[in-house]
Chains A and B, each alone.
Chain A
Amino acid sequence: MYSAAAAEIAAEIGLAKGKANLEVFASTMEEMAASDRNVVAVVSDSRGSGKLAPFGKAYPDQLVEVGIAEQNLVGVSAGLASAGKKVFAVSPSCFLTARSLEQIKNDVAYSDNPVTLVGISSGVSYGALGTTHHSLHDFAALRAINNLIVVCPADNYEAEQSVRAAAALEKPVFIRFGKAPLYSLGKESEQAFEFGKARLIREGNDLAFIATGEAVIHALLAAEKLKRDEGLEARVLSVHSLKPFDSEAVLSAARECKAIVTVEEHMVNGGLGEACAATILEAGISACAFRRVGIPDEYTVTGSQADIFRHYGISMEGLAETAKALLSKAQ
């Protein structure tokens, strides 16, 4: 996932290696189920890919299998939630957010059934399995649905916090997890986790990387590289909540920095970048240079998640280059 140079910088700044967010999700589910028999996981032959096999063994009465039937997965989850269960509907994000989109819209969001929809192996986590297994549309599709919180955690801390917050909230929530092991982004204790509040990962006023999910670490490494190579100080924000959206954090970045680069494991249409652009334009800020980095609207290149990230510039080197070019144009 990381070049040798990126791994070196990660070591230099003391980033701790963590687990895959999916594993954190599964262990958090086990902890919650131990003290709350209403915590239920609903799976569509996805207990293995969701790392929920141990959960199913430990709490067989709290795991509902519906087979390979994603529409039923979401409908059943809505019915369980309406009867007081704290439901986590777990399925690969590619299927969950496309095949069952109408159930998400009607049975969960519109009917206000407090299901937590868990999109696993999201974005291009499935890499070389190809576009059928990629979810590069889920932010766009779900941002357009009323009464749904849309979350994309960047590290283990955000993953655990978002799962616990979703269980406590009793509102429809979508959370998206990848399966690659992630660095911990640190500063857990300094900022309370809250849906709708971006997490400041790094301070800086020359430019800002506004990123989400598994792309955030690459933005942080790019910020460190820009400091070493160019003496630039880049702010890094982890926008774990696509909805509700932290407009204030984005506007502060737009007012205080010369350029903004948004970074996401999602098609550039309808995702984080467009949310930032709309926020900034509607506030009347035009002095800040702006560039979206994500997956372009084209036939997605074949390769692993790391290959695809690198190909489209979601890497320390790629993001540093994009930032430099944008800043040079802005000045």
Chain B
Amino acid sequence: MNYTDGQLELKSLKLRRSVIKWIKHAGAGHTGGSLSCIDILNVLYNRILKVSPATFSSPDRDRYVQSKGHAVEALFVVLADAGFFDESDLETLCAYQSHYVGHPTRKVNGVEQNTGGLGHGLPICVGTALAGKMDKKDYRVFTLLGDGELAEGSNWEAAMSAAHYKLDNLTAVIDCNTLQIAGRTAEVMNSEPLVEKWEAFGWSVRRIDGHDYAALTEALQAPLEKGKPSMVIANTVKGKGVDFMEDVGKWHHGVPNDEEYERAMASFETQIGIKEGALS
């Protein structure tokens, strides 16, 4: 299905509502970072990735590996929306013997790799992109990193090798929400200037508004440059979509209390109603 930007906006509202719903239900989760990357995942799964429940075992599918594994709630609600499993499965999120663990695992349909330790997604994707080049396949490989995650040295080992092997079938996105668990990324361990760093490592780089569907689509729909891996630095807001969570560090893994939950859900209902009205 081809979604308009407006339809994607509506979908993101519903996905964010689901993130809050399941985190509240489980009593745990990474709220802020899941909300910041929803629009990126929404665009990837609904406009970019050539993958579906029917093609998930095809060797020709596009791959998405979520390196910032802690934002698993975002991935789960997007995969459920794309039909990889029934969203009601998330009733068991983080529960005893559930496959729906607090970080992505391949026991969940649609998940490519088990992640959660940071700095793992990019090296794996370099390998998968390299295999695609070796086998002359057309699939593309995507990964999502956090800006705090960039302090892990393995990312820079992988960055070097992706450029060395000219992996233009690889696109990495940084969910650059400028906050990590201990505070501002700039204060904990400054990773800027990101554009210059990635360019110096041999990547083609674009910095965009990570909540702008048109900009995300334009940056992700094709490799940015032939012969180079693509880096899309998506400026995002941690906690995006819930006014009292936006850009507030404590929501990194905060779970709303009953009052906060009701407030957030009521806000979503209002916004969804308005958006549905506008689209009808």
Task: Give residues in A with beta carbon < 8 Å to B.
Answer: 40, 61, 64, 66-67, 69, 71-72, 74-85, 102-103, 106-107, 110-113
Contact = CB atoms under 8 A, between A and B. Distances in A.
B59 A76 contact: no
B130 interface: yes
11 contacts: A66-B157, A67-B160, A69-B160, A75-B122, A75-B126, A76-B161, A79-B127, A79-B131, A84-B131, A110-B105, A111-B113
Contacts of B259: none
Contacts of B223: none
A299 B201 CA distance: 41
Contact of B135 (A72, A83, A102): A83
Contacts of A69: 157, 160-161
Contacts of B129: 79
A77 B154 contact: no
A76 B113 contact: no
Interface in B98-123: 105-106, 112-117, 119-120, 122-123
A81 B105 CA distance: 17
B123 A107 contact: yes
A110 B117 CA distance: 12
Contacts of A83: 59, 127-128, 131-132, 135
B59 A78 contact: no
Contacts of A72: 123, 126, 154, 157-158, 160-161
B153 interface: yes
Contacts of A106: 114-117, 120
Contacts of B128: 79-80, 82-83
Interface in B69-124: 105-106, 112-117, 119-120, 122-124
B75 to A, nearest CB: 15
B123 A85 contact: no
B127 A78 contact: yes
Interface in B145-171: 153-154, 157-158, 160-161, 164
Residue among A67, A79, A84, A107 with most chain B CB within 10 A: A79
A76 B130 contact: yes
A150 B160 CA distance: 31
A84 B157 CA distance: 23
Given A40-B134, A77-B127, 20 more contacts: A64-B130, A66-B157, A67-B161, A75-B120, A76-B123, A76-B124, A76-B126, A76-B158, A78-B113, A78-B123, A79-B129, A84-B135, A85-B134, A102-B120, A103-B120, A106-B115, A107-B120, A110-B105, A111-B114, A112-B106
A86 to B, nearest CB: 11
Per CB-CB distance, the 7 closest pairs between chain A and chain B, nearest first, are A79-B127, A75-B123, A83-B131, A72-B157, A69-B157, A76-B127, A79-B128
A61 B124 contact: no
Contacts of A85: 131, 134
B134 A61 contact: yes
A113 to B, nearest CB: 8
Nearest to A80: B127
Contacts of A113: 113
Contacts of A81: 127
A103 B157 CA distance: 13
Contacts of B106: 111-112
Nearest to B104: A111
Most buried by B among A77, A78, A84: A78
B125 interface: yes
A22 to B, nearest CB: 24
B153 to A, nearest CB: 7
Contact of A71 (B115, B127, B157, B164): B157
A225 B135 CA distance: 56
A61 B136 CA distance: 12
The residue among A75, A78, A81, A112 with the most chain B CB atoms within 10 A of its own CB is A75
A82 B157 contact: no
B124 A82 contact: yes
A102 B115 CA distance: 11
B166 to A, nearest CB: 13
Contacts of B124: 75-76, 78-79, 82, 107
Contacts of A75: 120, 122-124, 126-127, 154, 158
B115 to A, nearest CB: 7
Instruction: Indicate the member of B59, B124, B127 with the most A CB atoms within 10 Å.
Output: B127
Nearest to B118: A102
B135 to A, nearest CB: 7
Nearest to B112: A82
Contacts of B153: 71
